[in-house]
A and B are shown apart, each in its own frame.
Chain A
């Protein structure tokens, strides 16, 4: 199979590999022989030891069903989604928090304890589990613990728990596919950088100076092989 053919077969590979194709801007890419490869679902360049470690963590279960259900409700309160963007629970948030709590065990006690506090609080106020009370009732509790700089003394520990949960939910959401789209991150793909767009420069009242414009790489020259013959240091 010639190289061009073998590159085509890459399309069946992971997202990253297909992207490499579009970066081959030059028409004669006599470069690396990226071999054929069909990637498994869960493969992101792990060494065998790392793969075992991940699998090991995934084979264990830390949170109970009730804890996960409580977390999913809270996650959707924190990140409810907007328009076409789904709420946190639809982006794998509980899987992520389950995994990271085993990967970074410092999360375990504060998370478990915080969820347990919430259960007690729900029973005290409404005589039911947090998963069984109405959304209005849920929000009543959340309102008391969601503002760490402005919290009543009796809720101080619970507010710290909620901040940790907010961190995990926020980070989980904004590292998920829909979250990244909502954020508007536009990179992680082959492209050609030619500086800040002109309208952005204008908006900020900034400009590239003459010297920079003269020396900076010109996109159309990027595939040339540098010739040092006339170069004087």
Chain B
């Protein structure tokens, strides 16, 4: 038996026929750019998140970039984020000309709200908390600080569609939120895609223009901008996937809690905090001798990954920011222990049992 890190079981999935039908309807319509499916998906997604507005985009990176621009963040500004995320959380800050300022995380892998205030300067304009792995960040505390210092809050919700804090979904907490709909995410297109949510009517208006060349209408260009639209075809497929998301998420959660029971004796398993609804986009354990364990699992047919072995502040791209490895001790420590195990709807109990057995064997040696 093998346990691959991802499994795309479309061939026999009950929704296969619906997806093909949706494909064909879009093809036959001849309307491939910002058509009715994009508009409908945006509405359905906004409703799902409990946010007034949503806007489809080409991917989660472009979303972050264009939201930062729409917020007017640029040269000379600072934006606070966490160093243990996917590179785009920070690279988009650099892309608009601002400086990423990192703040360490806690063991939940999310930004430590109690360390944010120390990092705020007169140049700070925004905070980008990441709901990493599908677990919501400490939004109450973060919003309080943002209010106190008059900062924007941009949720990087790329990994956490559907997650909740106090019953309220991510994407409805900050001034705006960015979601990635890449095929490896819980709600996914069949290629790159993204969507943003916001409660700010001015921001959504600016954003909608900025993702389409700065065009107010076909003939009027208000500002030079980019082409970052969600494909109509992907939107049609996303609408079908969205209908399945809640039961896929439930299946993920059941499997995650089952893993927790099996693995608790050997590794630190991911928790769900009080008032949290964790969607386990990645199932991350903290393991001693992580590299050897990962190799042992791989040698025995289980694909475990590390998200991410090199924190952003230690990437060559970040050299100009002049951070040292130990500037963020928790991040640094965690980067040596984190390991992502295979978890997705369709993963079988037998596969989970095998993973647990291998891990137990490893630690008994």
Partners in one complex: no
By a beta-carbon cutoff of 8 Å, the part of chain B in contact with chain A is none
